Structure 1
Amino acid sequence: MIGLEDVYKVVAAMVPLYVALMLGYGSVKWWKIFTPDQCDAINRLVCYFTLPLFTFEFTAHADPFKWDYMFIAADVVSKVIIVVVLALWAKCSTKGSYAWSITSFSLCTLTNSLVVGVPLVKAMYGSLGVDLVIQGSVFQAIVWLTSLLFVLEMRRTGLDISSTPSPVEGDSPARTSIDPTAKVDLEGRMEMIVSSSRPAFWSLMRRVWMKLAMNPNSYACIVGIAWAFIANRWHFEMPGIMDGCILIMSKAGTGTAMFSMGMFMALQEKLIACGPTLTVFGMVLRFIAGPAAMAIGSIALGLRGDVLRVAIIQAALPQSITSFIYAKEYGLHADVLSTAVIFGMIVSFPVLLAYYAILEFVH
């Protein structure tokens, strides 16, 4: 049962995030400390330094030998359901688009498990809930955030290629056979039109993989989970000097991400940057579509009892802060993601309490 002390722990975990947010907002809106270019630079600092080290730090301290792999499998099934639905929507609906499918996937699936989820689920389900939420968070970093990074990089690389001037007379045949042209509409939809599909595809993939190889976000979690397997299998401990080097930057990860979000808000004309319609859309995906998909995946794989309840609760946690940082860096609906993070944390507590009360009747 959740008591006042548990409520205080959740509030105590959330308030520092909003303090960092307001400091970022005030530094631009009121005190005029940073210019827009400097705000972009700070977001890149967060994206390429503090967040990768934060990801490596909590991933490296996981114990994958104690994971509940049926819980992980249910998470995979739920994400596959969402991907299939979004792919059909993008393909078959006149309003569907590749860009909005990426953002909708983020809104449906990526959660802020560590900051809000751990204290809340601990109050609800004890150590079992904490273990499962941490497992889900580590798996999210390894698979789903890495997948998001891949599709964002592929989209940006495709747009970069499409903006390359078309070949002129005298260019070599080899060059003209692999340069795609693209049509980009006002909603951000990109349709690649290629005359020779295989060379164009592999040219695109080669550039994407080269960029990902230089992006610390793409391998921080991989290196972290590799260390976790080695350390727990042979009982190694990370050297203190290495741990200290990582912690000095990783501890700033969440705070600097919220600070960057506050600066982004200050640069917008309206407080609710994306407008009320998209705000409601984001809340529906975050707190209804995501948990519904997780419930289907969990029940299909036979999860029962508290494991089923935790699976649904963790799918209804607030929006991942990292998803905003990526959206800002790659220029894709950062206004929608920032609003989802800010308002999601505000409304999450009553929504999660409602889920908790309802799930008590589920056996």
Structure 2
Amino acid sequence: MISGKEIYDVIAATFPLYVPVFLGYASVRWWKLFTPDQCKGISRLSAFIVLPLFSFDFLSRINPFELNCRFLAADALSKAIIAVLLAVWAKFTRKGSYSWSITGFSLSGLTNMLVMGVPLLRAMYGEEGLEIAVQAYMLQCIGWMMALLLVLEVRKATNRLQVSPRVVPHGDSHVVSIDEDDGRKEGAESEGSLVLKVMKLAWLKVAVNPRTYASVFGLAWAFVSNR
């Protein structure tokens, strides 16, 4: 049975997190305190500096030698099931879309474990809940977030490097036929190089992402400090 004190602890832990969100929305939507360019600057500051440092701080505090393996396995299995179901939906249904599959996986599988999960689970389960939240965030950063970034960069690189159809000028029928045949040969030859280009661009983008460095360095610090 959930007691009134437990409900109060959860509200007290999560309510302060929603106040800045509401103030940020109101300052842009109604009060017009920030311009769109300023909002972009704030978003870039959060993405490239605040969140990576926040991630490093939390990951460096865990003890990687005392992980809850059963919980991490259950978390990984649940996300894998979600990914498989979304892939099947995108592949075999009429309304399926890989872009919407990526969005659906982000919303259903990649929860806001760091900002919301830590205070929420700490209020519900104490220090044990805090450890579980940090461990889940570690797996999300090192595994699922990197995989999601890679998929997003592959999609962007594919759209950028997609070969446009050749425009053949009007003329004799045999000239058009030769042009089309050459286009097919060039398309077949360039397919392999296009895949390599896409993967190279995607891996480079993931490698230079600040959250990648923060996650790897934070986990390395945790291994060294708890050795």
Using the size of structure 1 for normalisation, the TM-score is 0.53
Contact 1:14–1:115 (Cα < 8 Å) also in 2: no
- Letter of the 1:227 partner, please give it: W
CA distance in 2, matches of 1:138, 1:7: 27
CA distance in 2, matches of 1:130, 1:147: 25
What is the CA-CA distance between 1:218 and the residue it aligns to? 2.2
Change (3 A) 1:166 1:16: farther
Contact 2:13–2:120 (Cα < 8 Å) also in 1: no
Moved more, 3-12 or 203-212: 3-12
CA distance in 2, matches of 1:27, 1:225: 37
Change (3 A) 1:41 1:160: farther
Which residue of the partner structure matches residue 144 of structure 2? 144
Contact 2:62–2:222 (Cα < 8 Å) also in 1: yes
Contact 2:79–2:109 (Cα < 8 Å) also in 1: yes
> In the TM superposition, what whole-angstrom CA distance separates every residue of 1:221-266 from its partner, at most 9, and x where no partner exists?
1111111111111xxxxxxxxxxxxxxxxxxxxxxxxxxxxxxxxx
What are the residue-to-residue correspondences of 1:186-205 with 2, within 5 Å? 196-205=190-199
CA distance in 2, matches of 1:24, 1:123: 25
CA distance in 2, matches of 1:167, 1:212: 32
Which residue of the partner structure matches residue 89 of structure 2? 89
Which residue of the partner structure matches residue 45 of structure 2? 45
- Letter of the 1:226 partner, please give it: A
Which residue of the partner structure matches residue 135 of structure 1? 135
Cα RMSD (Å) of the superposition? Answer: 2.7
What is the CA-CA distance between 1:166 and the residue it aligns to? 6.7
CA distance in 2, matches of 1:51, 1:230: 22
Change (3 A) 1:223 1:12: same
Change (3 A) 1:60 1:45: same
Which residue of the partner structure matches residue 111 of structure 1? 111
CA distance in 2, matches of 1:145, 1:40: 22
Using the size of structure 2 for normalisation, the TM-score is 0.81
Flag structure 1 segments of 5+ consecutive residues without an equivalent. Answer: 170-175, 181-193, 234-363
Which residue of the partner structure matches residue 212 of structure 1? 206
Q: Report how many aligned residue pairs link the two structures.
A: 212
1:23 aligns with 2:51: no
Q: What is the aligned-residue identity percentage?
A: 48
Change (3 A) 1:99 1:195: farther
CA distance in 2, matches of 1:72, 1:137: 10
1:230 aligns with 2:224: yes
Which residue of the partner structure matches residue 3 of structure 1? 3
Contact 2:58–2:134 (Cα < 8 Å) also in 1: no
What is the CA-CA distance between 1:138 and the residue it aligns to? 1.7
SS in 2 for 1:95: coil
What is the CA-CA distance between 1:122 and the residue it aligns to? 4.2
Contact 1:10–1:116 (Cα < 8 Å) also in 2: no
Q: Say which one has the larger Rg.
A: 2
CA distance in 2, matches of 1:86, 1:29: 34
CA distance in 1, matches of 2:111, 2:190: 40
- Letter of the 2:11 partner, please give it: V
- Letter of the 1:220 partner, please give it: A
Contact 1:154–1:204 (Cα < 8 Å) also in 2: yes
What is the CA-CA distance between 1:105 and the residue it aligns to? 0.7
CA distance in 2, matches of 1:5, 1:66: 31
Change (3 A) 1:166 1:44: farther
What is the CA-CA distance between 1:18 and the residue it aligns to? 2.0
CA distance in 1, matches of 2:146, 2:60: 16
> In the TM superposition, what whole-angstrom CA distance separates every residue of 1:311-345 from its partner, at most 9, and x where no partner exists?
xxxxxxxxxxxxxxxxxxxxxxxxxxxxxxxxxxx
Flag structure 2 segments of 5+ consecutive residues without an equivalent. Answer: 169-182
> In the TM superposition, what whole-angstrom CA distance separates every residue of 1:63-91 from its partner, at most 9, and x where no partner exists?
11010112212222222211111111111
SS in 1 for 2:13: helix
Which residue of the partner structure matches residue 154 of structure 2? 154
CA distance in 1, matches of 2:147, 2:125: 30
- Letter of the 2:36 partner, please give it: P
SS in 1 for 2:31: coil
What is the CA-CA distance between 1:152 and the residue it aligns to? 1.5
What is the CA-CA distance between 1:136 and the residue it aligns to? 1.1
Which residue of the partner structure matches residue 80 of structure 1? 80
What is the CA-CA distance between 1:54 and the residue it aligns to? 0.9
